[in-house]
């Protein structure tokens, strides 16, 4: 069901309040041809109503000759900011950037954040935004999970479907995504509500079984059969199964980049207002699948870059795959068991 402008403005006002927007600060809306117009207009009104100085920076799309779909996460190459010093300067001069176009895994974004500018990504449809307005409780729950990751030396993941993966930890930080930006230089995504890190380089080994009903992104589809990944020394070295495995393998080969097969971020979903089933209610071009990434109890792993966490691996190929019914353990202590988060819903783990 569609939402009214009033509802969406209220949602934006709450997110901006949580993001500590102050009167007199500069907010820049980063937009493109794919930006949702209701989202943009309501964001402008909400920021102005809180006394902010509001600008809009509209940039033209890029990568048309390379991307295989219209999804903004399907090709992480150059961005509209690449070589665009004037645009970068405008964003660095802003206190808060509302990214309504999707600027991810880019050196330009990292550079802007280092200047102290906060960036909040919000590109899902308005009704998803209103349903998933973040809370301070979300931050507390994600922060508690991140503290466990920070203290751990290994994350292990198993499932009845056959997943058995070992990921050594410690080289990269634990990242908290809770839906708002309340610290200088912070990036986040509304909606979100999950915790993640990256395994040590070349250290991950085991088997990942993508089971029936698990989700492939940016394909934005539920797998209809099992796909088996063999992981050796940090890379997926085999992709086995039927037609689903062949489709995934061919898509990844199209990038002609072996770094696309590296294990990227790993973590689990903590957002009860996101749902596994939601992806099936939208056309593929209307969502980037944040419900799938954040729904409570999923184990989310990815393939591709680690430069977002300070690593050196960059690649245009990035695959996110949330798995259901997994047990996730840190140093042998289960934090998710068979797809159920063991924190009582409030960040207090067993």
pLDDT, position 18: 98
* Confidence band for 316, pLDDT divided at 50, 70 and 90: confident
The angle, 0 to 180 degrees and rounded to 10, between the axes of the packed helices 37-49 and 5-18 is 60
Beta bridge partners of 303: 263, 319
Token representation of residue 287: 């969502």
Cβ atoms < 10 Å from Cβ of 85: 9
Distances (CA, A) of 337 to 136, 138, 199, 299: 25, 20, 20, 10
Q: Is the pLDDT of residue 132 over 90?
A: yes
Cβ atoms < 10 Å from Cβ of 344: 10
Task: Name the one residue in this structure whose structure tokens are 């390379």.
Answer: 66
What's the mean pLDDT in 36-55?
A: 98
For the stretch 152-186, pLDDT in tens is 999 999 999 999 999 999 999 999 999 999 999 99
Q: For residue 339, report the phi and psi dihedrals to the nearest 5 degrees.
A: 85, 5
Write the DSSP symbol of residue 112: H
* Confidence band for 204, pLDDT divided at 50, 70 and 90: very high
Q: What is the dihedral of CA 300, 262, 221, 101, to 10 degrees?
A: 80
Task: Name the one residue in this structure whose structure tokens are 């086995």.
Answer: 240
pLDDT, position 313: 86
What's the mean pLDDT in 309-313?
A: 82
- The answer to whether the CB of 53 falls within 8 A of the CB of 27 is yes
Percent of the chain with pLDDT over 90: 85
Q: Is the pLDDT of residue 72 over 70?
A: no
DSSP 156-176: EEEETTS-EEEEE-SSS--EE
pTM: 0.95
What kind and span of H or E run contains 267? Answer: strand 263-269
pLDDT, position 75: 65
What's the mean pLDDT in 231-256?
A: 97
**SS3 state at 192:** coil
Distances (CA, A) of 196 to 99, 250, 330: 21, 27, 13
Write the DSSP symbol of residue 150: H
Domains of the chain: residue spans and CATH = 5-131 (3.40.50.980), 136-341 (no CATH)
Q: Is the pLDDT of residue 73 over 90?
A: no
């Amino acid at each position: 069901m569609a939402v009214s402008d009033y509802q969406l403005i209220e949602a934006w006002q709450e997110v901006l309040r949580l993001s500590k927007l102050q009167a007199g600060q500069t907010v820049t809306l980063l937009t493109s041809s794919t930006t949702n117009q209701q989202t943009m207009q309501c964001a402008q009104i909400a920021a102005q109503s809180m006394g902010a100085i509001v600008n809009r920076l509209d940039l033209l799309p890029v990568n048309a000759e390379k991307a295989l779909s219209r999804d903004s996460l399907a090709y992480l190459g150059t961005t509209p900011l690449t070589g665009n010093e004037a645009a970068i300067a405008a964003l660095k001069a802003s206190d808060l950037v509302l990214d309504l176009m999707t600027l991810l895994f880019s050196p330009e974004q990292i550079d802007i954040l280092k200047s102290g500018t906060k960036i909040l990504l919000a590109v899902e449809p308005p009704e998803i935004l209103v349903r998933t307005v973040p809370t301070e409780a979300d931050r507390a729950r994600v922060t508690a999970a991140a503290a466990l990751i920070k203290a751990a030396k290994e994350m292990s993941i198993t499932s009845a479907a056959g997943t058995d993966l070992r990921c050594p930890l410690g080289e990269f930080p634990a990242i908290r995504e809770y839906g708002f930006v309340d610290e200088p230089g912070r990036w986040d995504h509304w909606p979100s509500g999950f915790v993640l890190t990256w395994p040590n380089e070349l250290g991950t080994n085991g088997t990942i079984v993508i089971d029936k009903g698990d989700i492939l992104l940016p394909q934005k589809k539920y797998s209809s059969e099992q796909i088996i990944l063999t992981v050796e020394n940090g890379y997926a070295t085999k992709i086995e199964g039927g037609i689903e495995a062949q489709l995934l393998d061919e898509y990844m080969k199209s990038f002609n980049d072996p770094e696309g097969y590296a294990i990227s971020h790993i973590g689990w979903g903590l957002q009860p207002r996101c749902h596994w089933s939601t992806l099936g209610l939208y056309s593929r071009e209307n969502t980037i699948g944040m419900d799938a990434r954040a729904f409570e109890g999923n184990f989310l792993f990815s393939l591709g870059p680690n430069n977002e966490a300070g690593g050196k691996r960059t690649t245009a190929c990035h695959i996110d795959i949330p798995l259901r019914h997994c047990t996730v353990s840190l140093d042998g202590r289960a934090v998710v068991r068979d797809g159920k988060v063991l924190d009582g819903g409030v960040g207090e783990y067993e």
